[in-house]
């Protein structure tokens, strides 16, 4: 996706603005993204503290997806400032600090393959180029997936990805993306799951990962109560104004 830039998007080392008694890990100040064909999202402002799970509450679609990509260093703001890990608008630096998962534009998995192949490919991708990597075994599946799945059942090595339940498939994608366990993990919208119980369980697992990482996800409805989410942040300007007006009219009617 081609993205236009401007002077405000220059890489600069800067102090992270404090949030009360804590220092924010990420600070978005009027950030937005425009492509060659028009507006994608923004401007929007928010601050994310380190650790735990933060849920961005806002309408789904290309704007929210682009925002998540920006927070993981996969896109660079066209306008505004994004402080992250001691730098501002430094997408390359942020990229190295973050993993991103369950976003089709980044980690979509070819459906007609087995779980074994997905795990094997991830191990090969992470290994030095000169190292021969054998086909993944059960121990590899457990090493990669157990931190994300917790007490939930792991998928069978011989199961086809397209036949996995939606929750299992989402957790597998997160596990594969999070092998390095970087400081920041950005996960596609929890509201992608069609079953409420699956969404609650996924949120609980992200809360668990938030004990060792800063985890960010999104949900149009915010977060389910009682699951230990650190903060829910309402994010505006994720869709074109005309669509926002239509949504508001639908709520009124």
Predicted confidence (pLDDT) per residue in 142-156, tens digit: 999 999 999 999 999
The three-class DSSP label of residue 78 is: coil
Q: Is the pLDDT of residue 16 over 70?
A: no
> What pLDDT does 250 receive?
40
Q: Angle CA(189)–CA(191)–CA(192) in degrees, nearest 5?
A: 75
The reply to whether 14 falls in a domain is no
Per-residue pLDDT band at 249 (split at 50, 70, 90): very low
Per-residue pLDDT band at 170 (split at 50, 70, 90): very high
The reply to whether 5 falls in a domain is no
For the chain, the domain total comes to 1
The reply to whether 211 falls in a domain is yes
The reply to whether 10 falls in a domain is no
Minimum mean pLDDT range among 78-82, 169-173, 200-204, 219-223? 219-223
Strands in 16-127 per DSSP E? 18-19, 22-23, 26-35, 38-48, 52-57, 79-84, 87-88, 98-101
> What pTM did the predictor assign?
0.85
Strands in 144-244 per DSSP E? 184-187, 214-219, 231-234
Minimum mean pLDDT range among 64-78, 111-125, 133-147? 111-125
Q: How far apart are CA 243 and CA 37, in angstroms?
A: 17
The reply to whether 17 falls in a domain is no
The reply to whether 12 falls in a domain is no
Q: Is the pLDDT of residue 243 over 50?
A: no
The reply to whether 112 falls in a domain is yes
Whichever domain contains 174, its CATH number is 3.40.50.300
**From the CB of residue 150, how many other CB atoms can be counted at a distance below 10 Å?**
13
pLDDT tens-digit readout, 84-113: 999 999 999 999 999 999 998 777 776 679
Token pair, residue 196, equals 């409420």
Q: Which residue has the tokens 């191990």?
A: 123
Q: Is the pLDDT of residue 127 over 50?
A: yes
The reply to whether 232 falls in a domain is yes
> What pLDDT does 122 receive?
87
Q: Is the pLDDT of residue 131 over 90?
A: no
pLDDT tens-digit readout, 23-56: 899 999 999 999 888 899 999 999 999 999 999 9
Structural domain that includes position 160: 26-251
Q: Is the pLDDT of residue 165 over 50?
A: yes
């Amino acid at each position: 996706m081609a993205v236009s830039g401007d002077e405000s998007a220059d890489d600069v080392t800067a102090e992270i603005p404090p949030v009360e008694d804590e220092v924010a890990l990420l600070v978005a100040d009027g950030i937005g993204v425009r492509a060659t064909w028009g507006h994608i999202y923004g401007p929007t402002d928010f601050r994310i503290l380190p650790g735990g799970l933060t849920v961005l509450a806002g309408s789904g679609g290309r704007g929210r997806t682009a925002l998540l990509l920006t927070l993981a260093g996969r896109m660079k703001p066209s306008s505004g400032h994004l402080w992250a890990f001691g730098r501002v608008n430094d997408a390359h630096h942020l990229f190295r600090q973050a993993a991103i998962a369950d976003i089709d534009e980044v980690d979509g998995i070819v459906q007609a393959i087995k779980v074994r192949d997905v795990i094997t490919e991830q191990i090969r991708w992470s290994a030095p180029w000169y190292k021969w990597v054998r086909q993944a075994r059960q121990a590899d599946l457990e090493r990669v997936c157990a931190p994300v799945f917790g007490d939930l059942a792991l998928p069978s090595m011989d199961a086809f990805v397209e036949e996995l339940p939606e929750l299992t498939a989402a957790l597998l994608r997160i596990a594969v993306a999070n092998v390095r366990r970087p400081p920041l993990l950005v996960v596609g919208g929890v509201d992608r799951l069609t079953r409420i119980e699956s969404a609650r369980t996924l949120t609980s697992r992200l809360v668990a990962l938030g004990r060792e990482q800063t985890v960010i996800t999104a949900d149009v409805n915010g977060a389910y109560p009682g699951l230990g989410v650190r903060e829910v942040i309402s994010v505006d300007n994720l869709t074109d104004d005309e669509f926002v007006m239509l949504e508001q009219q639908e709520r009124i009617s």
